[in-house]
Amino acid sequence: MLRPLVKLTLVHLLWRNYKSAILTTLIAIICILVVSFVHADYVAYAKNLSNDNTLGLSFIIKWLCYISISLIWFILCFRPYKSQKSTNTSKHPPDDSVDKIQTDDPFYAISKMGKLKSRADRVIERKKEDA
């Protein structure tokens, strides 16, 4: 009873974390299969017509399609991770971010004070002054 729940949880976690990579890979595989089937049909068609003049060109086009599909897959799968790392590793915030914090945060001035005094601190100070 616990095994299906664990499997479902693992599948859900994998899908949530790698959804875009899985979909991109599946689309790339489908595109490669379509190019292969179309090329195989063209080769059979060219053999029936005894037209071997354009057969070499069809292989060049097939491999150019394979290379372009692979490059697009590589860019779509690995490019976003690189840009996320570069945005997270920035050490210095932009200058206008401090102004934005000051205008958006109503408690910004209070948080910059040295030491905040509570009611008990003020009572203790009054007793020290009276004594």
Q: Determine the pLDDT at residue 42.
A: 93
Q: What is the pLDDT of residues 99-131, one digit of tens each?
A: 565 667 777 777 777 777 788 888 888 888 887
Give tens-digit pLDDT for 37-88: 999 999 999 989 887 788 899 999 999 999 999 999 999 888 755 555 555 5
pLDDT recorded at residue 41: 95
pLDDT for residue 111: 73
- Each domain of the chain, given as residue ranges in start order, spans 2-93
Gyration radius of the chain over CA positions: 33
